[in-house]
Structure 1
Amino acid sequence: MNGVNDDGPGGLHCLVTGATGYIGGRLVPELLAAGHRVRCVGRSPEKLYAHPWADRVEIVRGDVLDADAMGAALRGIDVAYYLVHALGTGRSFEDTDRRAARTVGEQAAAAGVRRLVYLGGLTPEGVPPAELSPHLRSRTEVGDILLASGVPTAVLRAAVIIGSGSASFEMLRYLTERLPVMVTPSWVRTRIQPIAVRDVLRYLVGCAELPADVSRTFDIGGPDVMTYVAMMRRYAEVARLPRRVIVPVPLLTPRLSSYWVGLVTPVPHAIAKPLTASLRHEVVCQEHDIARYVPDGPNQPLPFDAALALALRRVQEAQVATRWSSAALPGAPSDPLPTDPDWAGGSLYTDHRELTVDASPAALWRVIEGIGGENGWYSFPLAWAVRGWLDRLAGGAGLRRGRRDAQHLRVGDALDFWRVEAVEPGRLLRLRAEMRMPGLAWLELRVDRDADTGRTRYRQRALFHPRGLLGHAYWWAIAPFHALIFGGMARNIVGAAAHETAPDAVPPAAPR
């Protein structure tokens, strides 16, 4: 075990299974904020150490299929959150889910746990289990097993969860962004009641303090009921994409749909297949009894458009998300997390260069901070000039803005057709593109020390978040020139630093 002491004061003692997953990783800080103590259990607990809250929780290695490990993990626990699901692990995921739920239920009862809380899937009213998709059938069965464990259990049933990293939301994101014209299966006409991830977390945290005699299922959803096609069109509107043309056809079966989703999106087929099979069912809440125990405040639950805006906030505010940049930390449950899968958070193309240079960090930093304006961009001047002319023809600023100061930069400075987004003197310069293009772009230049040799190391990243299909086409159209432009920039910057004659003093570390 690692982390805080079991005997620490305050709140309930909560166990979170699946803390490396989408909901679990976002639930932990919410429980801490509510004053509870948290123990996390997972097969790969080392994945949790990247979180800023890792030193405030107890981290345990364990598997929900291992009775001994779960018995030890559940000892002394008041509330256990069951947030694991075998979706994507193969054809036998239903059996795996069944065995895991029984193990946790039995061990929770033996350990004297006061409450189990499980997040399952919203199921259609009146549909026999045999007619449900395997995904929804398994979610329902797990809830029934936990309810029968003898431990008071709250089963929250949700449909599509709106937040960056949710598999259902990522399917919606990629389908809408990448396809301006779509031939879709008939399930796009199915009615769905989506819910914002922040409302899901609010209900989960509230369930920790339910009365002991409450053991039942609760339907949770947002205020909007809509079809999947309406969700895609409203996504396009919130993301400021052109209106999507969507043509449903009855010939695409759920199996063919999953291959179609796998072709268009990076969501793995093993996950896309059971999710698309579930979309043929209408999933609408039949009650909202949870509000009797976890009251809704103003604007709660969050409307669909507001939930979308939060999920897209990092991009719309031109911020590089956590998994895109080590300089940022997650700010809201709808933001990406370091433990999210690579396909979560939207498309981001990256060109990364690293070189070691025989120069002091101070010398390298002076070259970096002097970039642009009269000094140029250290690679293929004609290409930069042509890009500037094209930008002016499109109504942009081009290269005519130059620099405010010949030697120093500060946050907010215009730099040709870039804007200074972040400066850590002596260490980091991040520029955000203001040229006309179908997407958002950043250029990040960093000074580091090589841990093995102690030599100065230059790191350079160009990042591009495409907007719609045109954005993807734009990136791949210029990709053949990256070695010439970005590779040449890296070589020439370190070359210029190597010719500097400067003392080894590093500029102050305080951000400016």
Structure 2
Amino acid sequence: MHALVFGASGYIGTNLVPRLLAENYRVRAAARNRKVLEARDWTDVELVEADALKPETLDVALADIDVAYYLVHSMAAGRHFGQLDIQAADNFAQAAQRAGIKRIVYLGGLVPPDASSEHLTSRCETGNRLRAGTVPVTEIRAGIIVGPGSAAFEVIRDLVNHLPVMVTPRWVRAKSTPIALDNLLTYLVRIPQLEQTAGGIYDAAGPDLLSYEQLMRQFGEMVGKRPIIIPVPVLSPELSAWWLHLVTAVPTNIARALIAGLKHDISADTRALQTLIPQHLLTFTEAVEAVFDAERRNAVAARWTEGALMFRDYNPRYAFYAKRVSGSAIAKAPVQAVWHQVASIGGENRYYYLNFLWTIRECIDWLLGGSGLQHKRRHPTELRVGDMVDSWRVIGVVPERRLTLFFGMKAPGAGVLEFELEAEPDGRTRVTATAYWHPAGVWGLLYWYAHLPAHAVIFNGLTRAIAERAEASGAQPG
């Protein structure tokens, strides 16, 4: 079966692609940004760039496809994302009809009878719009997904690990039916293989019906925490989203949509799906153990910027989601000349821009007992994985494309600095420096925000300095 995973860069898509490959599907992965897909390092997967809000990109993505998994949503787009979701579904249904594909599998959300939030109603309306076409649609509706990187689960992890006392909104007492990521993936992989599921809508859930407060307490027992949770009636969904923004690393727009959906009690009728696809459904605690096991084995199927444990310094208490800041510049020089400057950073060369700020930070680290004042490299211009560049450790090298450094100073969290080079059509080179930070709770977030103004200046200046040094080396584009 030839499957298109539309929205393959997202959480479910990233985990679904390897499972489909393991079940001998031919897989085409589609996302708005091809570079994000390339970073997954999947083998035997065709990658395409497509956007459901740009209908002209859909025909190529859907050509010669048997089943299309529709996994996109616009929660991260901010307010009124529901309108974007509906337009995207209309465009996709029409393109699927033109392509003559056999089935659309859509992952929606469980919808309570009194649903009023845009998050829940738009997921339901998206399914209706997909069904308006001629292609049969199978819709699976799931609630809280328990897996590494799931926004609802990562909120639980951040809160329990770092807040011993929580003043929370009332939604923590709303009940829902969490489902383990592995159970959901099994349903998604197998359901298009069953002809009788065409046109069906199925609830997917685990065996537990628990409130968010109970989920946090059970998670706390598993990690040795006993949080004090005090629900109050005065926190609106808007204030709750900002509260989560202040105390967790989950993006604000996602938190806002998540909270709007959590104010309802949401149950599920899973009998039909369990009859069609029988499997052992993990309890919440079993699903959490599966998360811990996957992270211990470093089996999280995502690029490190989305939280692979090795880039959180192997500390599961550090936030899965990364804060980030970037700077970029264009060099009138070929990639080779720019790479030479990137690969020579640190040591006696220092950091090309505002070195006194780097020195201040290194002195602070030294005072805290760190290795901040060690200015050394194995080789002045060559790098390999495992090398130390002052306090940084090289964790990724793709010559003339990417250099990834792990932050080695003492701080409340784990950080990465990555340089990326991209050749422009006219022979020039774009160099981008991006800092990623996985905070350790509130202190890690305060550390990030305290450094953010300086980072915004430093990384633009750093990339500009790299470009100027590459130009001054005498190498010319082309």
Contact 1:116 1:152 in 2 (8 A): yes
> How far did residue 408 of structure 1 move?
2.8
Do structure 1's residue 282 and structure 2's residue 265 form an aligned pair?
Answer: yes
Q: 2:140 matched to which residue of 1?
A: 156
Q: 1:247 matched to which residue of 2?
A: 230
Structure 1 residue aligned with 2:364, among 386, 390, 393? 390
TM-score in terms of structure 2 length:
0.67
Q: Quick check: 225-234 or 312-321, which moved more?
A: 312-321
Partners of 1:113 and 1:446 in 2: how far apart?
A: 38
Q: 2:171 matched to which residue of 1?
A: 187
Structure 2 residue aligned with 1:399, among 369, 373, 393? 373
> How far did residue 411 of structure 1 move?
0.7
Q: % of aligned pairs identical?
A: 38
> How far did residue 293 of structure 1 move?
3.5
The alignment partner of 1:303 has SS state of helix
Q: Quick check: 181-190 or 21-30, which moved more?
A: 21-30
Q: 2:440 matched to which residue of 1?
A: 467
Q: 1:335 matched to which residue of 2?
A: none
Q: Quick check: 144-153 or 134-143, which moved more?
A: 144-153
Partners of 1:132 and 1:147 in 2: how far apart?
A: 22
Q: 2:189 matched to which residue of 1?
A: 205
The verdict on how the C-alpha distance between 1:376 and 1:164 changes in structure 2, with shifts beyond 3 A counting, is: same
Q: 1:354 matched to which residue of 2?
A: 329
Q: 1:6 matched to which residue of 2?
A: none
* 1:409-488 equivalence runs, <5 A: 409-446=383-420, 449-452=423-426, 454-455=427-428, 458-482=431-455, 486=459
Q: What one-letter code is carried by the residue in structure 1 that aligns with 2:377?
A: R
Partners of 1:303 and 1:192 in 2: how far apart?
A: 15
Unaligned runs of 5+ in 2: 312-318
Contact 1:223 1:303 in 2 (8 A): no
Structure 2 residue aligned with 1:122, among 110, 116, 124? 110
Partners of 1:188 and 1:226 in 2: how far apart?
A: 10
> How far did residue 152 of structure 1 move?
8.6
Contact 2:187 2:277 in 1 (8 A): yes
- What does the per-residue CA deviation read over 1:20-72, in whole Å, with 9 as the maximum and x for residues that have no partner? 8764676566556544567999xxx8667964589848999979xx9xxx9xx
The verdict on how the C-alpha distance between 1:351 and 1:316 changes in structure 2, with shifts beyond 3 A counting, is: farther
Contact 1:235 1:308 in 2 (8 A): no
Aligned length: 457
Q: What one-letter code is carried by the residue in structure 2 that aligns with 1:246?
A: I
> How far did residue 283 of structure 1 move?
3.4
TM-score in terms of structure 1 length:
0.63
Q: 1:376 matched to which residue of 2?
A: 350
Partners of 1:40 and 1:385 in 2: how far apart?
A: 44
> How far did residue 262 of structure 1 move?
7.4
Partners of 1:396 and 1:237 in 2: how far apart?
A: 33
Considering only aligned residues, what root-mean-square deviation do their CA atoms show, in Å?
5.9
> How far did residue 390 of structure 1 move?
2.7
* 1:44-443 equivalence runs, <5 A: 51=37, 56=46, 117-122=105-110, 129-130=113-114, 155-163=139-147, 168-169=152-153, 182-210=166-194, 212=196, 218-222=202-206, 226-232=210-216, 246-252=229-235, 257=240, 275-285=258-268, 287=270, 290-296=273-279, 303-307=287-291, 320-321=304-305, 346-356=321-331, 362=336, 364-400=338-374, 402-443=376-417
